[in-house]
Structure 1
Amino acid sequence: MATDFRYRRLGYLVLQVSGIAQTTKFMIDVIGLDFVDETKEGGRFFRSGPSHHDVLLIPAATPAFVRSSWELETDDDLERAFSHYAKLGLSPKWVPDIEAQALSLEKAFRVVEPVVHTEFEYYSKMTYISSPLQNRLTGFQGGKHFGLAVPDPRMHTEYLVKNMGFLTSDYLEGWPGALLRAFPNPNHHSYGALGGKAGFHHFAFMVNTIDDIGRLMNRAQKLGVTPHFGIGRHPTSGSIHFYVYDNDFFVWEYTLGMEQFPEQGAREARRMSARPEDFDLWGAVPDVVGASKRPPFLTYG
């Protein structure tokens, strides 16, 4: 890993949605997030903890993944990251102050990784909200991760590890996918590079108890929300999981019990079985019909 900056966590995702009112209701009534604020353009912010937002939804004709945003540990890390990407020839660009202010960020830049051409945003300070969450449906632990389905998971993974400060925690034999952590964040993974039809794969929130997952299952059933995968347990991270679709076929996950990695002396990445019977420790099978409708990710450059 040839980077000199340190990640704190996955900050937030930006998603285009086709029905902002319907997805807002889903965010609040199913996922259990707090609505925070609305942009002048009609985008909506949602949070699961004290940071201003974990999700920004943008109304659009076509649903799509727009970008991921990553919180670094310090202002110095932010400056080092900018210099690092400039030296790689990736032409990072600072976010204009007025836009950063609208995003409740003190300072941020964006860069496009050159393998699948998705946009990464970096910042070190987001507005902290001291008032407690109003939505009491779920107890959120604070960690998050997401996955994209990409044409070549191995090539994408190798670039992220060599150039962008990620480490591989596990990969599947034959390279249909890999799970990566944003060093030195201890969570088993903050990002999944997964195979299959290219597009947005899922966005996950770590929750406090198995009760949170059980309540989501029953809530989804009562509200007519379609499940995607689970309840099950991943053989990689060890997490208990449950995934559901929203109205645009974005997939949202609750996850509990993820493996934690020490900063020093962490185990090597495992080559995991890709056999269908080894895909889930409890025998859960993901839905493939809805997955074929997954929204695309926007590409840049």
Structure 2
Amino acid sequence: MINLWDIRYVRLGTPDVEAATRYARDIVGLELGRREGKAAYFRSDDRDHTLVYFEGDPSDHTVGFELRSKEELQAAAAALDAADIAVHAGTADECARRAVGSFINFRDRNGSSIDLVVQPHHSGQRHWPSRDGGITGFSHIGLCSANPSRDEAFWTQTLGAKVSDRIGAAPLLRIDEVHHKVALFPSQRVGVQHINHQVESIDDIMRAWYRLQRAGVRIVFGPGRHPTSGAMFLYFEGPDGMVYEFSSGVRLITPEQEPSYQPRQFPMADTSFCMWGSKPDIPEFKV
């Protein structure tokens, strides 16, 4: 079984890199680390980058996960091959664009593009965001799934994730102590459904709520609190229809809790997404 160590980055194609850059920097509040050709690299913590916008098809999404060693990467390639998943080994140029030592790419059962990387670069510079938004780092992604039961089996049996809770058919999956790093939401689309950044507190969420409204950004859910992870949240619309989320206070499932932990089943209802009463304007969250 493959053991994912952490989520590392998300790469998004866009027809307008300049507009996406302004959004990531001025609206989300990320640090523009550098530009390379027709790509912009953004930092949210001490990693080299956690988000890349590159000129390309806006449906072209890739999520990167870190493994601990080259030996684990080789074993992962073999495990994927045994599961009849086609694997592409990254070229030197592709590794340079991702700022990693080496990586493999594959598509999960729903067709979402996944990188498994080793020796990802850390920045030698202090993280200096474009403004004080309270962001502490890139934390998780939602993925689209035409068949959540099928995709849950792949992510748990092949990629080693564990189910923390389910909302309807949608599993919330953890790869470490954090309640979830991946969520699989029913959808006929392929790729990333939303991108989450953690912020320090509810104060940062509420400041963002007011600031986003003043900037004319469409709020699609929240402020609210998830009954599953316990996190307080705010979702808002980004370039090319991508949904971004700020959240704070996510639940941890510790090693001491792990042996006796039982995933909870929540119905597909508004109250399963928010315990405060906010109703989502997100297709994959609607009943």
| TM-score normalised per structure 2 | 0.91
Residue number among 36, 44, 51 corresponding to 2:40 in the alignment: 44
Counterpart of 1:191? Answer: 182
SS in 2 for 1:255: strand
Asked if 1 retains the 8 angstrom alpha-carbon contact of 2:167 and 2:272, the reply is no
C-alpha offsets along residues 37-68 of structure 1, whole Å, 9 cap, x if unaligned? 2223x0111110111111111123x4224211
What is the rounded CA distance, in whole Å, between the counterparts of 1:266 and 1:244 in structure 2? Answer: 36
Question: Partner of 2:31 in structure 1?
Answer: 34
Deviation at residue 117 of structure 1 after TM alignment: 1.6
User: Does 2:254 align with 1:258?
Assistant: no
Aligned to 1:11: 8
Runs (5+) with no aligned partner, structure 1: 293-301
Partner of 2:158: 163
Counterpart among 162, 167, 172 of residue 179 in structure 1: 172
> What are the residue-to-residue correspondences of 1:80-229 with 2, within 5 Å?
80-113=75-108, 115-135=109-129, 136-173=131-168, 175=169, 177-182=170-175, 185-199=176-190, 200-229=192-221
Distance 1:246 1:275, change over 3 A: closer
* Equivalent residues of 1:111, 1:120 under 8 A apart: yes
Question: Could you tell me whether the CA contact under 8 Å between 2:196 and 2:245 is conserved in 1?
Answer: yes
Displacement of 1:251: 0.5
Could you tell me which runs of 5 or more consecutive residues in structure 2 were left unpaired when the two chains were aligned. none
- Deviation of 1:266 after TM superposition, in Å, equals 5.2
Distance 1:237 1:192 in 2: 12
Following superposition, the deviation at residue 238 of structure 1 comes to 0.7
Aligned counterparts of 1:13 and 1:243: Cα–Cα separation in 2: 17
**Deviation >4 Å, runs of 4+:** none
- Would you say how many aligned residue pairs link Structure 1 and Structure 2? 280
Whole-angstrom distance in 2 between the partners of 1:266 and 1:144: 25
Letter in 2 for 1:180: L
Q: Is the 8 A contact 2:27 2:212 kept in 1?
A: yes
Superposed displacement of residue 126, structure 1: 1.4
Q: CA deviation at 1:287?
A: 1.3
Residue in 1 that maps onto 2:277 = 283
Higher relative contact order (CA 8 A, sep 6+): 1
Cα pair distance change 1:150/1:51, threshold 3 Å: same
**Aligned partners of 2:6, 2:200: CA distance in 1, in Å?**
18
8 Å Cα contact 2:270-2:280 kept in structure 1: no
Measured after TM superposition, the shift of residue 201 of structure 1 is 1.7
- Identity among equivalent pairs (%): 22
**Shift in Å, 1:29:** 1.0
Deviation, 1:98, is: 2.1
How far did 1:144 drift?
1.1
How many angstroms does 1:35 deviate by? Answer: 0.8
Instruction: Kindly indicate whether residue 70 of structure 2 is the aligned counterpart of residue 75 of structure 1.
Output: yes
Aligned AA (2:27): V
Q: CA RMSD in A?
A: 1.9
Displacement of 1:78 in angstroms is 2.1
Residue pair 1:213, 1:241 contacting (<8 A) in 2 also = yes
What's the offset of the Cα at 1:148?
Answer: 2.1
- Structure 2 contact 44–138 (Cα < 8 Å) conserved: no
Q: For residues 11-47 of structure 1, what are the alpha-carbon distances to aligned partners after superposition, in whole Å with 9 as ceiling and x for unaligned?
A: 111111232111111101111111112223x011111
Contact 1:30 1:216 in 2 (8 A): no
How far apart are 1:192 and its partner, in Å?
A: 0.9
For normalisation by structure 1, the TM-score amounts to 0.87
Matched AA of 1:90: I
